[in-house]
């Protein structure tokens, strides 16, 4: 008996949703019949039949396609009326990633997520924790004459991010900090005075802002992560060099939140130990 009730309810919801979609799209019974290739009487019956029968898959699919909704929504198998293409477009977006400190898109995402925990795996050292001298060394070759103006504008945004009501967790591979301290790899040629000033700055900020700001170091031989930022439960953004890939669907955000939490859980160095590690780097032969 429960199965019969369920069938009747689903048939009733199908009629209601079909009618709602037709009204929303401004499509008449005759127009829908032409677009689906069925008789007008068939469409009329779909809208008025009080029984428990549902149309066959071909008719449901044709109606869904003509009305720009998903067949699952018409059949009450989903609460999202968007079709697959619309769902994909709304859940994933690709946007250009200019060679800039904090571009408008990144800043907008931070403002949108204000108050939520923000989890971040930077591509190098995190920009929000860099000194002006390091920013100039890193970005001036790309920004040319506009470097000073761009860095000045970005400093205000970086300061806003540090003072926002969000908690920040940053996870990065240990080799990144070692490479910086020893001026190897990406940081080859970076003057000693800039490195020492940056290590002092790191230590000061991480001490002052703890526990709202927590930095973890993980072993890249055991764990790997692409550069990404997870803005609370709202979205997850991957940095792919010239573009950002942003995901807004809950399952992906939760998946990559779990990934980040593993980086933290298995980190070789906890946030409490990070300032001590910075002091040790300053004693290395640099």
State in Å, rounded, how far the first CA of the chain is from the last one: 79
Model's pTM, two decimal places?
0.68
Q: Which strands, in side-by-side order, build the sheet including 213-218?
A: 92-96, 243-247, 235-239, 228-231, 118-121, 168-173, 213-218
- Give residue 101's pLDDT band: very low, low, confident or very high (50, 70, 90): low
The pLDDT tens digits for 198-256 are: 999 999 999 988 999 999 999 999 999 999 999 999 899 999 888 999 998 888 899 99
Q: What is the mean pLDDT of residues 178-186?
A: 94
The crossing angle, in degrees rounded to 10, of helices 274-282 and 174-182 is: 30
Assess whether pLDDT exceeds 80 at residue 152: no
Could you tell me which residues come within 8 angstroms of residue 131 by beta carbon, excluding any fewer than 6 positions away? Answer: 194, 197, 198, 201
């Amino acid at each position: 008996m429960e199965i019969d009730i369920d069938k009747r309810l689903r048939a009733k919801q199908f009629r209601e949703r079909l009618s709602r979609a037709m009204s929303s799209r401004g499509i008449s019974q005759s127009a829908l019949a032409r677009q689906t290739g069925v008789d007008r009487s068939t469409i009329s019956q779909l809208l008025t039949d009080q029984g428990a029968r549902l149309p066959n898959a071909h008719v449901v699919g044709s109606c869904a396609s003509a009305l720009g909704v998903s067949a699952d929504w018409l059949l009450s198998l989903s609460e999202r009326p968007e079709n697959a293409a619309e769902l994909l477009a709304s859940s994933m977006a690709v946007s250009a990633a200019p060679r800039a400190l904090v571009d408008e898109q990144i800043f907008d995402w931070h403002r949108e997520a204000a108050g939520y925990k923000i989890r971040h795996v930077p591509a190098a050292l995190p920009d929000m924790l860099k000194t002006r001298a390091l920013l100039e060394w890193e970005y001036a070759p790309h920004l040319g004459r506009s470097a000073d103006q761009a860095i000045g504008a970005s400093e205000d945004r970086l300061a806003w991010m540090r003072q926002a009501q969000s908690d920040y967790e940053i996870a990065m591979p240990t080799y990144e900090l070692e490479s910086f301290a020893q001026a190897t790899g990406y940081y080859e040629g970076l003057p000693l005075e800039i490195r020492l000033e940056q290590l002092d700055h790191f230590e000061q900020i991480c001490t002052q802002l703890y526990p709202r700001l927590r930095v973890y170091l993980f072993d890249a031989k055991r764990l790997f992560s692409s550069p990404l930022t997870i803005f609370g439960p709202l979205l997850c953004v991957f940095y792919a060099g010239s573009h950002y890939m942003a995901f807004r669907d809950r399952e992906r955000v939760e998946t990559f939140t779990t990934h980040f939490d593993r980086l933290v859980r298995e980190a070789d160095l906890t946030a409490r130990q990070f300032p001590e590690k910075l002091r040790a780097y300053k004693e290395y032969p640099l």
